[in-house]
């Protein structure tokens, strides 16, 4: 079977044919580093990690280039830095370190390159100049703006006409803009904000717009570098500046990806920026929208205190990537239990077993992870009946989804960093246990002791020498 992927650009599933099978190239929009990454941010990281693994399996690990950027210059960063009283560089570096630590715990592979926006300012300036020269951008009041009217099929990715977008736009139209949908490529920096020498003869220093960053970084790492370093075959050189796959969350389709396309296609005069555009669906928490304003944001870091990274990953992959996902505690509990069982069954199985054809086939069908997981469950049933080859195959196949990467002992040793239970609840359970013991219901008393032990709480009974009564204390075992 060949790999088929749903392409947002054409709105259908298509067989995937890389431009250069010797160097399959993928770009995914990475985080803006101003705060802890939340689970909505984790979804594209996890989804495109599975695709990266599948491409490496299909074309060979050294024949895939995956670029995922770090946006370290942005309005949100400036605002957070001012509010928190931390300088911008310290904030972006701290946040980037935290992001790396969090996603490492999720067990995803590192991308081939992780370009940072602030290290690509010359490329961004050149893009501005190019777009102005070609008549797709103009300078107004210290800004460089993209002239949307200069691109006949602007809106193709979002599948909306310019008129529809203008009617739906609730943006305050700056007087210096020619058209209401024209967007910023470069803008003047306010005092105290990061600033670089401006392009296009603008005297005042400024900074790039967000959309421009991805156009500059993707071209540098997926076209210029591979080309100059001879990493592309003749086939790869046939479509200059175009790469294979561009991914991100569905919320990025408009305006971010539409504008990336406008910039890149108009600067390089190409028919497409990337051949395949992939978008993961929204994420809800317990049936509701996750929004900072509602105080409902769950960070990856918070979750990792209570759950192993692979459980988070399995819970995430249990929904198809294009479907909205409803994130629940129940889903995580199930995922953890499943992995406990899989680890137990696959302990000590030999490495290098063949992959399960059903798992591979499911993933090749537009990354159908729920079906791949169902195939893994089928293997588990076989393995549970004592079939060692099935257990070895389960381990090898789960690895393609980035699961069962630890050894069984490591998995068993995992403990939550913060207690999944409050002190109040522990005291209440101790009281219930003491009452049970008084009533000589030792079975119930032991059950409560075991329940607490399962969440890392150890009870110690001692006789109070003064009163002769049994006193129970508890401590958390890490
Ligand atoms: Zn982007």
Question: Is the model's pLDDT at 16 over the cut of 70?
Answer: yes
Domain C-terminal end among 388, 413, 438: 413
Q: How far is the CA of 67 from the centre of ligand 1 (A)?
A: 11
Average the pLDDT over 208-227 and give the result.
97
Q: Residues 117-172: pLDDT tens digits? A: 999 999 999 999 999 999 999 999 999 999 999 999 999 999 988 888 877 666 66
Pick from 192-196, 274-278, 375-379, 415-419: least confident: 415-419
Q: How far is the CA of 251 from the centre of ligand 1 (A)?
A: 11
Q: How far is the CA of 389 from the centre of ligand 1 (A)?
A: 43
Question: Is the model's pLDDT at 47 over the cut of 70?
Answer: yes
Average the pLDDT over 397-409 and give the result.
94
Give me the pLDDT at residue 466, please: 77
Give me the pLDDT at residue 396, please: 95
β-strand partners of 465: none
Q: What distance in Å separates the CA atoms of residue 108 and residue 42, rounded to the nearest whole number?
A: 10
Q: Evaluate whether residue 12 is within a structural domain.
A: yes
Q: How far is the CA of 370 from the centre of ligand 1 (A)?
A: 27
Q: How far is the CA of 86 from the centre of ligand 1 (A)?
A: 26
Same domain membership, residue 269 and residue 145: yes
Q: Evaluate whether residue 142 is within a structural domain.
A: yes
Q: Residue 293's pLDDT band (boundaries 50, 70, 90)?
A: low
Domain, as residue range, for 464: 423-476
Average the pLDDT over 369-385 and give the result.
96
Q: How far is the CA of 257 from the centre of ligand 1 (A)?
A: 6
Task: Choose from 28-42, 357-371, 413-427, 464-478 the range with maximum mean pLDDT.
Answer: 357-371
Q: Evaluate whether residue 300 is within a structural domain.
A: no
Q: Residue 90's pLDDT band (boundaries 50, 70, 90)?
A: very high
Q: Evaluate whether residue 223 is within a structural domain.
A: yes
Q: How far is the CA of 253 from the centre of ligand 1 (A)?
A: 10
Q: Residue 419's pLDDT band (boundaries 50, 70, 90)?
A: low
Q: How far is the CA of 125 from the centre of ligand 1 (A)?
A: 17
Domain C-terminal end among 413, 443, 458: 413
Question: Is the model's pLDDT at 455 over the cut of 80?
Answer: no
Q: How far is the CA of 217 from the centre of ligand 1 (A)?
A: 9
Tokens 């200069």 correspond to what residue?
150
Q: Evaluate whether residue 365 is within a structural domain.
A: yes
Same domain membership, residue 329 and residue 192: no
Q: How far is the CA of 69 from the centre of ligand 1 (A)?
A: 8
Average the pLDDT over 61-65 and give the result.
97
Same domain membership, residue 392 and residue 448: no
Q: How far is the CA of 407 from the centre of ligand 1 (A)?
A: 36
Give me the pLDDT at residue 162, please: 82
Q: Evaluate whether residue 253 is within a structural domain.
A: yes
Same domain membership, residue 72 and residue 33: yes
Same domain membership, residue 213 and residue 82: yes
Residue 253 or 290, more confident: 253
Q: Residue 71's pLDDT band (boundaries 50, 70, 90)?
A: very high
Same domain membership, residue 322 and residue 181: no
Give me the pLDDT at residue 422, please: 67
Q: How far is the CA of 460 from the centre of ligand 1 (A)?
A: 55
Q: Residue 413's pLDDT band (boundaries 50, 70, 90)?
A: confident
Same domain membership, residue 313 and residue 347: yes
Give me the pLDDT at residue 291, please: 65
Give me the pLDDT at residue 295, please: 61
Percent of the chain with pLDDT over 70: 95
Same domain membership, residue 235 and residue 384: no
Q: How far is the CA of 382 from the centre of ligand 1 (A)?
A: 44
Same domain membership, residue 335 and residue 258: no
Q: How far is the CA of 146 from the centre of ligand 1 (A)?
A: 16
Same domain membership, residue 471 and residue 447: yes
Q: How far is the CA of 293 from the centre of ligand 1 (A)?
A: 24
Q: How far is the CA of 191 from the centre of ligand 1 (A)?
A: 26
Question: Is the model's pLDDT at 102 over the cut of 90?
Answer: yes
Q: What is the mean pLDDT of the chain?
A: 92
Q: How far is the CA of 267 from the centre of ligand 1 (A)?
A: 16
> What is the domain-level CATH number for residue 356?
1.20.120
Q: Residue 397's pLDDT band (boundaries 50, 70, 90)?
A: very high
Q: How far is the CA of 115 from the centre of ligand 1 (A)?
A: 12
Percent of the chain with pLDDT over 90: 74
Q: What is the domain count for the chain?
A: 3
Q: How far is the CA of 220 from the centre of ligand 1 (A)?
A: 14
Give me the pLDDT at residue 418, please: 58
Q: Evaluate whether residue 371 is within a structural domain.
A: yes
Question: Is the model's pLDDT at 260 over the cut of 60?
Answer: yes
Domain C-terminal end among 390, 413, 436: 413
Q: How far is the CA of 178 from the centre of ligand 1 (A)?
A: 25
Residue 305 or 60, more confident: 60
Q: How far is the CA of 249 from the centre of ligand 1 (A)?
A: 10
Same domain membership, residue 451 and residue 382: no
Least Cα distance to 197 among 128, 262, 136, 147 occurs for 128
Give me the pLDDT at residue 294, please: 59
Question: Is the model's pLDDT at 184 over the cut of 80?
Answer: yes
> What is the domain-level CATH number for residue 67?
3.40.50.620
Same domain membership, residue 470 and residue 408: no
Q: Which two tokens stand for residue 432?
A: 């219930």
3-state secondary structure the chain: CCCEEEECCCCEEEECCCCCCCCEEEEECCCECCCCCEHHHHHHHHHHHHHHHHHHHHHCHHHEEEEECEECCCHHHHHHHHHHCCCHHHHHHHHHHHHHHHHHHCCCCCCCECCEHHHCHHHHHHHHHHHHHCCCEEEECCEEEECHHHCCCCCCCCCCCHHHHHHHCCCCCCCCCCCCCCEEEEEECCCCCCCECCCCCCCCCEEECHHHHHHHHHHHHHHHHHHHCCCCCHHHHCCCCCEEEEEEEHHHHHHHHHHHHHHHHHHHCCCCCEEEEEEECCEEECCEECCHHHCCCCEHHHHHHHCCHHHHHHHHHCCCCCCCEEECHHHHHHHHHHHHHHHHHHCCCCCCCCCCHHHHHHHHECCCHHHHHHHHHHHHHHHHCCCHHHHHHHHHHHHCCCCCCCCHHHHHHCCCCCCCCCHHHHHHHHHHHHHHHHCCCHHHHHHHHHHHHHCCEEEEEEECCCCCCEEEEEEECC
Q: Evaluate whether residue 291 is within a structural domain.
A: no
pTM of the model: 0.86
Q: How far is the CA of 48 from the centre of ligand 1 (A)?
A: 14
Q: How far is the CA of 216 from the centre of ligand 1 (A)?
A: 10
Q: How far is the CA of 252 from the centre of ligand 1 (A)?
A: 8
């Amino acid at each position: 079977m060949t790999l088929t992927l749903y392409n947002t650009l054409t709105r259908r599933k298509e067989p995937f044919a890389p431009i250069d099978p010797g160097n399959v190239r993928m770009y995914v929009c990475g985080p803006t580093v101003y705060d802890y990454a939340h689970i909505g941010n984790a979804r594209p990281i996890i989804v495109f990690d599975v695709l990266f693994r599948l491409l490496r399996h299909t074309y060979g690990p050294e024949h895939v280039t995956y670029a995922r950027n770090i946006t370290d210059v942005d309005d949100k960063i400036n605002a957070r830095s001012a509010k928190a009283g931390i300088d911008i560089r310290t904030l972006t570096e701290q946040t980037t370190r935290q992001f790396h630590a969090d996603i490492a715990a999720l067990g995803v592979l590192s991308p081939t390159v992780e370009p940072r926006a602030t290290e690509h300012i010359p490329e961004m300036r050149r893009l501005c100049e190019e777009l102005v020269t070609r008549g797709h951008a103009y300078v107004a009041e210290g800004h460089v703006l993209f002239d949307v009217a200069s691109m006949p099929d602007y809106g193709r990715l979002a599948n909306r006409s310019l008129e529809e977008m203008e009617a739906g736009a609730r943006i305050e139209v700056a007087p210096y803009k020619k058209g209401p949908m024209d967007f910023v490529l470069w803008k003047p920096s306010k005092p105290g904000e990061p600033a670089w020498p401006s392009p296009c003869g603008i005297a005042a220093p400024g900074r790039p717009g967000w959309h421009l960053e991805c156009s500059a970084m993707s071209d540098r790492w997926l076209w210029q570098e591979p080309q100059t370093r001879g990493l592309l075959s003749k086939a790869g050189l046939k479509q200059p500046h175009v790469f294979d796959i561009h991914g991100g969350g569905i919320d990025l389709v408009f305006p971010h990806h539409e504008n990336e396309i406008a910039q890149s296609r108009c600067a390089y005069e190409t028919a497409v920026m990337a051949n395949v555009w992939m978008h993961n669906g929204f994420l809800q928490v317990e049936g509701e929208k996750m929004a900072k304003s509602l105080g409902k944001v769950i960070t990856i870091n918070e979750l990792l205190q209570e759950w192993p990274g692979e459980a988070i990953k399995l819970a995430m992959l249990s929904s198809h990537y294009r479907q909205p996902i409803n994130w629940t505690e129940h889903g995580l509990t199930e995922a953890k239990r499943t992995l406990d069982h899989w680890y137990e069954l696959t302990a000590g199985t030999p490495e290098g077993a063949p992959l399960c054809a059903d798992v591979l086939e499911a993933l090749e069908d537009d990354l159908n992870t729920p079906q791949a997981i169902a195939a893994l469950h089928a293997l588990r049933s076989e393995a549970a009946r004592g079939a060692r080859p099935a257990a070895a195959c389960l381990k090898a196949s789960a690895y393609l989804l980035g699961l069962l990467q630890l050894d069984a002992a490591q998995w068993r040793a995992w403990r939550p960093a913060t207690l999944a239970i409050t002190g109040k609840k522990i005291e209440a359970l101790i009281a219930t246990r003491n009452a049970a013991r008084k009533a000589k219901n030792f079975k119930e008393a032991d059950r409560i002791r075991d329940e607490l032990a399962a969440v890392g709480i150890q009870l110690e009974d001692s006789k109070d020498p003064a009163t002769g009564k049994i006193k129970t204390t508890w401590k958390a075992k890490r």
